[in-house]
Structure 1
């Protein structure tokens, strides 16, 4: 894999091979504080038919009177789409128009909670689905803020500071003022700055798991809460995570055994897989998350069962365990 302009927000990635890649974006501010986020990229064989990607849109809120609600769905596929269908799965009876298109028009709406599901089927019979919730409020009805304390995050020493970015908004009146309050639920002691803002700044984090709760209140005094987990590891070895099982059956789901939090070690990492008899069935230097249940030397598919692994960095074993291969 080649990354051009890795110091830019929109790099170009080339020379990809079949397998799963994990990319990490790190940003550093003027004070030297860092924050990171990761994305998984799976490169599949041309022979694999992926199900349609379906997006029914974000949840929406309305206050009566409302004459019409329009939901703009998105359907994409690596081939040809044979069928698109909207279905109402909850809520009072309404009139639907455009149920076989990406855009659904809803009329004759009354206050209530509605759910709609968008289904797409491609020419090879693969199906993709997504759902959206629509809330229609009576005039004068109040609702608490919609809140998100941010994604769970992992950091590794020497990084010991982090910003947690929370968000909240009033779904009916997006201009309404929201008040924020953070508190620590669990974890070692740490320095907490700006607990009354949407962005919580943490300093001098110790190794361990932290849980923080974000509360958001609107002008009507209605409160919503959400939690976020921060895992802090003392070494980059400690953060390596290995799945307990995977299922390499070419369905595009868990086809590869994907390690997490090992990217900085990949050039020096040796993975060895053993069977129950202790024989080596797979070995890879600079492992690239591309083991699909085949043995070294000919690509023989290994049978279902429990296998054992060692992960070594620069000749030192840093992690051992077992993995179950399912077919």
Structure 2
């Protein structure tokens, strides 16, 4: 019996680890002012332990402040307009390493004066107010100035006290009846950049009356063709100033009709897409003391004038038809009718979901 030598070979079934992939934008554009800018990175496989190291390459116009340099998200502040390069080194737990360079492009200005309220209201006998500029975006060592720039009363400017004129938040005392304009000015330490914002302070007496509302109808003979109502309330007066305008279409009015460009929140309202019927509009005016006065106005919208001389074509547009298709169809109808009746006056009207074309002329 012969003897044999046997060799047993065992192969591992494990596969090589997937390569480390770092995902990050090669360039980022930031519009100043910004309190903090963030550069974000991620890796694949996402479950692999890695270490991060961010480094600023010292190539920008100033040295920014960087935080979280050993995390995936780098926080950057104190930027000026210009280009900044950052290097990111990522190493995983099996020794793979990836290096990325990110270009950050900063545009705009580094500081901006902002206030909590652009308009402050004081009711006598109170004679002081807080002006708050803490929302401002500033650099370190930014110079701050609060100044009085105008007043509509005869009070001496030097009798108005700005208690902390070099702080973002200050208190004004010794005010009297009237209006005051204050200016918050920010200047960078090197005086290269400046930003300012105004605050209006109004001091009212206690015996003011609610608003006196006045409405004038600017458009006459409103009808389906002249399809616009203009309501003008600019002659409304208010002892405490006007804080809010609110136009409302009464539920008693036809459902169709809407305000143009949010004019329901302004002293002059524009309403279109009207149908024949009686419209009632309500104007509510609020003053700075939240007193409200209101007034109604009724406007009659008439039908189509000279209706007996009209040719009317009504057709339903299908949902899948594009506007260009409809415009082409209307153009062809126009050409046909002009050939048929050279003196015809053509007016297009769009109502509801019906597209109605009215052609005015002697038939």
Greater helix percent: which structure? 2
Greater strand percent: which structure? 1
TM-score range, shorter chain: 0.3 to 0.5
Higher Cα Rg: structure 1 or 2?
Answer: 2
